[in-house]
């Protein structure tokens, strides 16, 4: 038995074109690089051109294959143009990773319409219409895998994240709907639910002695997650190893939902 051959058969992403949104961000830049390292052809999509360029250069620099595409998740014409450009470049899309998302912490009594509309536009409306556009292309080519990103706040809640959590709960519902409606086209849809992940954007949270203790007390592993902690499940859901997995939400949270750190007894 050749172990490497079996692992490659199950988990290799060679020959798969993978569209990742939010690819310039702290989490999905790392996920994109990791998926490229196991053979994925990466279509990197974001509104941050400079950030995209850096990720593209790094992937191509270590021998992977990546190309950048601009996308505005609040603009349906931009979504359509991005999908068209990716298909024109690579011929198809095999995997969609809906990594783009935004949040602004605001209490429900005080949030304004503009903030509400923008969070919903990126996190829910944009995810729906991008998934729809990509799924039509997947249907033409015989199938594919959609990987949506939900959140701890889709099942539990932190103060100030109400609208964000509502959109991520909506993405969880969309995942189930996609799974049942698109199964006949050999399109699977699953969701990754990250716990508390440390990125440059969340660094102030982890350096705050009060807030960091609050979070760490709720994480059984007693550490924040790293972007690389999401890579294993992303590769699994993108690969042929998960061909009978659909409609589920997979938590990567260090034991947070399980109950956090135990009391001393």
Report pLDDT digits (tens) over 37-80: 999 999 999 999 999 999 999 999 999 999 999 999 999 999 99
> Active-site residues: which are they?
164
Whether this prediction's pTM lies above 0.75 is answered by yes
Residue 212 exposed, middle or buried by CB count within 10 Å (0-12, 13-18, 19+): middle
Condensed to tens digits (0 to 9), the pLDDT of residues 208-259 reads 999 999 999 999 999 999 999 999 999 999 999 999 999 999 999 999 999 9
Q: In 10 A of CB 259, how many CB atoms?
A: 9
The per-residue pLDDT for range 152-193, each reduced to its tens digit, is 999 998 888 999 999 999 999 999 999 999 999 999 999 999
Residue 15: predicted pLDDT: 96
Categorize the per-residue pLDDT at 1 as very low, low, confident or very high, splitting at 50, 70 and 90.
Answer: low
């Amino acid at each position: 038995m050749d172990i490497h051959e079996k692992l490659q058969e199950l988990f290799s992403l060679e020959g798969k074109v993978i569209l990742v949104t939010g690819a310039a961000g702290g989490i999905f830049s790392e996920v994109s690089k990791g998926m490229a390292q196991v053979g994925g052809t990466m279509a990197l999509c974001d509104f941050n051109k400079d950030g995209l360029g850096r990720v593209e250069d790094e992937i191509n620099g270590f021998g992977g294959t990546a190309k950048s595409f601009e996308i505005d998740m609040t603009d349906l014409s931009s979504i359509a143009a991005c999908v068209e450009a990716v298909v024109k470049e690579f011929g198809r899309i095999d995997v969609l990773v809906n990594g783009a998302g935004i949040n602004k912490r605001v209490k429900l009594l005080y949030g304004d319409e503009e903030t509400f509309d923008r969070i919903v536009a990126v996190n829910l409306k944009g995810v729906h219409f991008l998934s729809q556009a990509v799924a039509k292309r997947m249907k033409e080519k015989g199938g594919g895998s959609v990987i949506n990103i939900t959140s701890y706040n889709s099942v539990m809640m932190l103060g100030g994240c109400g609208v964000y959590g509502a959109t991520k709960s909506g993405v969880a519902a969309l995942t189930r709907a996609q799974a049942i409606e698109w199964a006949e086209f050999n399109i699977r849809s699953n969701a990754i639910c990250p716990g508390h992940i440390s990125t440059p954007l969340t660094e102030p949270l982890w350096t705050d002695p009060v807030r960091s203790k609050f979070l760490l007390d709720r994480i059984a592993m007693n550490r924040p997650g790293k972007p690389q902690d999401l890579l294993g499940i992303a590769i699994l859901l993108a690969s042929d190893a998960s061909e009978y997995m659909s409609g589920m939400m997979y938590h990567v949270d260090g034991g947070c939902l399980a109950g956090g750190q135990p009391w001393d007894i």
